[in-house]
Structure 1
Amino acid sequence: MSNIEVRIADWHKDNADLRRIRERVFIDEQGVTPEQEWDSQDAGAIHFLAEEDDFAMGTARLLPDGCIGRVSVLKEWRGLNVGEALMQAAIAEAERRGLQQQTLTAQVHAARFYERLGFRAVSDEFIEAGIPHIDMLRTSE
């Protein structure tokens, strides 16, 4: 990573960037329907944006119950540890809020990435939005 920084985003003020990233990754690349991607939990979630020189290339969200989701990085920026920076920020914010357990629903192909961050599988594989997923849990020490 060069000058990539992760910050807490404002759902309303940063909405265009949050939507642009998630639409490109989930809707355009992965074929998730808009109805599946956008839900009522976005308004109450803590959103994160990864940026370099004011260009947003990644996002994630943290729900009040400690569930981390919608982790997405634009294709051109993958492999540069943007996803890891987003996850570290979300985990740190969850812990700061006293959420000692963080959960997520991982696409199966990304499970090893989350395992490196301390998550472990807690479910069998299942299909969500046409994509194989697995539920994962991380417990803070």
Structure 2
Amino acid sequence: MKILTTNEHYPLLNSFTMFLGLSDKLMSSEAEFFRRPHTTRIIWGGQRVVYIFTEETETLSLYYDIELKGQIQKSKTGGSMFPTTTIVTDGRVFIPIPDVLTENFQVGHSPKEFFVRFDILSGRPGEKVYDD
């Protein structure tokens, strides 16, 4: 399963109604990251939805970039810090999709395709990571 949905807004799920399963490649290399406390920031616009997960010491962040086949409506462009609502199962990690974006991930009669890129970033925000 790649998408989990519910028709209800449950407080334990921070009222999210849709969750996206992370890619198999990320699962094989970085799944352990999501077993530790982390924050969740999501930014979206154009054809992109970018997740930035930062672990509790703020020394590591995981960048997860989803490129959609279609455009996000300009009126829905946005982003914010969200309550971390990561669902970890034996075989998959699911991340929340804000309600404003659920129509971009709805599966209909044909499969939904998008491209994913991810990377681990190290260093504290604002920390100098190079020498002049």
Asked if TM exceeds 0.5, the reply is no
Normalised to the residue count of structure 1, the TM-score between the two structures is: 0.31
Per chain length, whose mean CA-contact separation is higher, i.e. which structure has more relative contact order (CA < 8 Å, sep 6+)? 2
